[in-house]
Structure 1
Amino acid sequence: MIYNNSKVFFDDVSSINIQHTDAYFPENKTIQRFIEEQSLWYPNRVAVCFHGQRYTYSDINRKANLLAKFLRDTKGVKTGEIVGIVADRSLEMIVGVYAIIKAGGVYMPISTDLPSKRIEYLIYDSGINYVLVKKNDAIKTDSVELINIDVVIENETTVENLVNVCEARDPIYVIYTSGTTGKPKGVVVEHRSVVNRLNWMQKMYPLSKDDVILQKTPIVFDVSVWELFWWSIAGAQLCLLDPGMERFPQAIIDSIEKNHVTVVHFVPSMLFQFLKYIEDTDEVNRLSSLRYVFTSGEVLSPICVELFNKILYTKTGARIINLYGPTEATVDVTCYNCPTEGKLERVPIGKPIDNTKIYILSNGEIQPIGKVGEICISGVGVARGYLNNQELTMERFIENPLIPNERMYKTGDLGAFMKDGNIEYHGRKDCQVKIRGLRIELEEIESSIMELENIKQCAVVNIEKNSDVLLIAFIVPSGEIDIKLIKDHLRGSLPQYMVPNRITLLEELPVLPTGKIDRNMLKNI
């Protein structure tokens, strides 16, 4: 059953700041307690499946305890200490994340796809001393000690649950996102925020022991958070898709059918491609186990919703749910249950989840219904801030001007309240974009390009082409430059998904009457 987010209708502007989202959640609980409880109650129930192997709650908990004890007792990991983890989807990845948490630490995922220069920056900025690695995923660095997960957990010794040294207000993870200054920034999120987010999800879309979540989001992205932990609340199962297979519809179909997957997440653009792949084929019959399909990370189009209903809802009864939220507010803060029939002009991002308030502000004032302003967030899900970056934290995480002693996060996203209390998304205030759900600050790419010699000006824009999004860099040189050297430099300092698809040289950049770069004109060049 899917419940309505709220029955509140906003009749006037004053009611917008009185959102009835206060709700109970186990606010003193830390995330590892859920799997420890399930391991006690249902030790032999299957918890995780991967590569045809099935691991029980007892298996996962015991291995995580073993590694956690090693981290705490042998390596001296302290409460709140950040520990890196580099592991593709695998049993070791799950055990590693839980072990860091059980030891009292804060897990910080690092992608194996990152260039060494960026990995070294993450290590330096976070101040970590240890990085957990899987045998095949070792990174090349002399800056920290690498701990091989496989070696530690191969011991068959039974270790009891460690004494919990964490509190609900302690941090659970640090996830780095693209930054406007040319350097990524680490977002620090607390246990309490994650517990609230998962408790809301379980209340709205209840899982049972028979449900299976397909984990296919790389753990360096925040959508992975609910995939990694939600199942443990309900005693459900987690199915790990083979690494890299999230880009291949056939692999996803095979995994859904084989493992009776009931819950899956897609970025909207990938969902559309998936739907087109199965349209007018018999493949949809292999997806009969699906119950919920969640989307987030990009604007969900009405065409995608209509295609979903035509292909999946009518044949399997699966529902599509649109989520919205920044990394700085614990994954998602609003939710919209898409209708199963009819046409939509625009798909809203929905209404706020439990213990969350959304404000549409302009110059510090609440905007009337239908008027666009900046989406600002307050409530339990708001992150602590940016790691080791107090200046940026104070700029983006402000005191709530409407409620004393409460913090508010300024998203930079634009939106407007509708009469029914749902929110429409209206783009960005700045140069942040999302491509296939990956958050990119165009200014970070520009900063990296400007590090090179003979670059007078630079602007990066995103354009849509053939249902895909491309990054184009426009450069005004001040001397002789080599485009190949520019691309090599970018590949050595940025994730692959941030490297421009094309670099174009111009004599000058077009500007608006205000003197600002005319990015719309650049998109048409």
Structure 2
Amino acid sequence: VLSNQVNRGVLEGKRDLTIVALDSDWDELISKYPDDSLERVTSPSHLAYVMYTSGSTGRPKGVQVTHTNIVSLATSCDYVALNSETVWLSTGSISFDAVTIEYWGTLLNGGELVLASREVLLNTSSFKSLILDKGVNTLWMTASWFHQVVEEDTSIFASLRYLLVGGDIVLFNYTNTVKELYPDLKIINGYGPTENTTFSTTYTIEKTQTTLPIGKPIKNSVAYIVDSAMNLVPVGVVGELVVGGSGVARGYLNNEELTNDKFISNPFTAGDRLYKTGDLAKWLPDGNIEFIGRKDTQVKIRGYRIELGEIENALSNLVSVSQCCVLAKETSTGNKILVGYVVSEGVFDKEAIQQALQEDLPGYMIPSIWIALDTMPLTANGKLDRRALPEPDSTALSTKEYVAPRNETEEQLVTIWQ
């Protein structure tokens, strides 16, 4: 029983709870209430939260996640050890689904959850001090943020046992740097949409010189790669990644049409449900999955259908490229051109990058405009913010320097074509 004084303290934001004397007729008061156990009103199928995600469309969608979804994710991990020794520093925004594994991966397994302000996390020195002071051994980071921290101070990772990265394409040159310094650190590439409760597949990263896969389905999950008719595609063929298992959310809040379009019955296992991610991927011969890019970033240029993710993968394999992004931009004439955004190691060399890309890509997949950046813009959740990338200067178009006409015939051709 709280006195008015305590109520006032709560309303005024006071942290100290005043101890007050209980009413003298306490026995009579309390006898009016039942002494049996409270009725359990929550079932595993009930909603735990609704999390809004815009994905690639920019239109927020409320994803309905159940208690079953969370418990499955947090208590059946086969990619990271979660127990009483786990000390996990939460780095995700409360509106970002990474907090599901951060909060419940610790609290449901007897571990310790460490919270920090955004200001502390984004200050490299404070971030490092917090990890050491609290004995943090487990951490989740978005790919873009991870790349930036590696460039600033790799010693931040010295005391960690597990480092989970994802939310975007993870570049192997950064993971190689960390693995070289801390070979015992387990780095996991985690992939998954909010609609399948944070993680669908994971891959334990080792030193490599090739594009990092997103791995294999986690425990209690399945993954298929299909064509437009939901037929399974063979190894090496690009298709849409469809995921399922105990992590599949109930659907979208108040959006039955979109729910029915994205959440479908599993044609391969009766009674199960699947989520169509809209992501393009392919099976590798070793059973891992390679992420290609978004289905809705597939563009058509000069009659060729192009996956922007394939270009980004090729770019990220170049030693001179730290971070990259490729977009298709429309010109004043209605044509589309490819624009490459690059954070480079050292001086940006457009000619060298284009020449290197020609060894792996056909000419129509090589960007014609290049924009060098110091850093890539990030969203509040630490992902690459494609909408914040600068607009290109159309006069920068061309993969070659201008060469003037050298004879009368070329002068006539220039006059005709210009």
Counterpart Cα distance in 1 of 2:48 and 2:16: 22
Q: CA deviation at 1:246?
A: 2.6
Q: CA deviation at 1:278?
A: 2.1
- Residues 211/379 of structure 1: CA separation in 2 closer, same or farther (3 Å cut): closer
Q: CA deviation at 1:312?
A: 2.7
**Residue in 2 that maps onto 1:223:** 98
1:57-456 counterparts in 2 under 5 A? 164-178=40-54, 183-201=59-77, 203-279=78-154, 284=155, 287-313=157-183, 317-339=184-206, 341=207, 343-362=208-227, 363-431=229-297
**Residue in 1 that maps onto 2:388:** 500
Runs of 4+ in 1 over 6 A off after TM superposition: 459-462
- Residues 196/275 of structure 1: CA separation in 2 closer, same or farther (3 Å cut): same
Q: CA deviation at 1:467?
A: 6.1
| Matched position secondary structure for 1:366 | coil
Counterpart Cα distance in 1 of 2:66 and 2:337: 34
- Residues 323/256 of structure 1: CA separation in 2 closer, same or farther (3 Å cut): same
- Residues 296/182 of structure 1: CA separation in 2 closer, same or farther (3 Å cut): closer
Residues 143 and 170 in structure 2, CA contact (< 8 A), matched pair in contact too: yes
Q: CA deviation at 1:503?
A: 5.4
Residues 164 and 187 in structure 2, CA contact (< 8 A), matched pair in contact too: yes
Counterpart Cα distance in 1 of 2:337 and 2:249: 29
Q: RMSD value over aligned CA atoms? A: 3.9
Counterpart Cα distance in 1 of 2:131 and 2:218: 28
- Residues 460/196 of structure 1: CA separation in 2 closer, same or farther (3 Å cut): farther
Deviations, residues 109-140 of structure 1 (Å, cap 9, x unaligned): xxxxxxxxxxxxxxxxxxxxxxxxxxxxxxxx
Q: CA deviation at 1:415?
A: 0.9
| Matched position secondary structure for 1:321 | strand
Q: CA deviation at 1:266?
A: 1.2
Q: CA deviation at 1:395?
A: 0.9
**Residue in 1 that maps onto 2:398:** none
Q: CA deviation at 1:417?
A: 1.2
Q: CA deviation at 1:378?
A: 1.5
Q: CA deviation at 1:379?
A: 1.1
One-letter code aligned to 1:271: F
1:10-21 counterparts in 2 under 5 A? none
**Residue in 1 that maps onto 2:341:** 464
Deviations, residues 313-356 of structure 1 (Å, cap 9, x unaligned): 3xxx21101111001100001111112x4x24121111101111
Gaps of 5+ in 1: 1-65, 67-146, 435-441, 443-456, 469-495, 507-525
Deviations, residues 92-113 of structure 1 (Å, cap 9, x unaligned): xxxxxxxxxxxxxxxxxxxxxx
Residues 214 and 264 in structure 1, CA contact (< 8 A), matched pair in contact too: yes
| Matched position secondary structure for 1:174 | strand
| Matched position secondary structure for 1:258 | helix
| Matched position secondary structure for 1:365 | coil
Residues 79 and 202 in structure 2, CA contact (< 8 A), matched pair in contact too: no
Q: CA deviation at 1:164?
A: 3.8
- Residues 149/215 of structure 1: CA separation in 2 closer, same or farther (3 Å cut): farther
Counterpart Cα distance in 1 of 2:124 and 2:138: 16
Identity of aligned residues (%): 33
- Residues 498/346 of structure 1: CA separation in 2 closer, same or farther (3 Å cut): closer
Q: TM-score, normalising length from structure 1?
A: 0.52
One-letter code aligned to 1:309: K
Residues 373 and 416 in structure 1, CA contact (< 8 A), matched pair in contact too: yes
Residues 79 and 188 in structure 2, CA contact (< 8 A), matched pair in contact too: no
**Residue in 1 that maps onto 2:374:** none
Counterpart Cα distance in 2 of 1:416 and 1:155: 62
- Residues 218/179 of structure 1: CA separation in 2 closer, same or farther (3 Å cut): closer
Residues 375 and 412 in structure 1, CA contact (< 8 A), matched pair in contact too: yes
Gaps of 5+ in 2: 3-9, 21-34, 299-307, 310-326, 328-333, 346-383, 395-418
Q: TM-score, normalising length from structure 2?
A: 0.64
- Residues 266/191 of structure 1: CA separation in 2 closer, same or farther (3 Å cut): same
Q: How many residues are paired up?
A: 307
Counterpart Cα distance in 2 of 1:395 and 1:179: 15
Q: CA deviation at 1:465?
A: 3.1
Residues 328 and 385 in structure 1, CA contact (< 8 A), matched pair in contact too: yes
Residues 75 and 109 in structure 2, CA contact (< 8 A), matched pair in contact too: no
Counterpart Cα distance in 2 of 1:231 and 1:181: 32
Q: CA deviation at 1:243?
A: 2.6
**Residue in 2 that maps onto 1:474:** none
| Matched position secondary structure for 1:310 | helix
One-letter code aligned to 1:464: Y
One-letter code aligned to 1:289: S
One-letter code aligned to 2:240: E
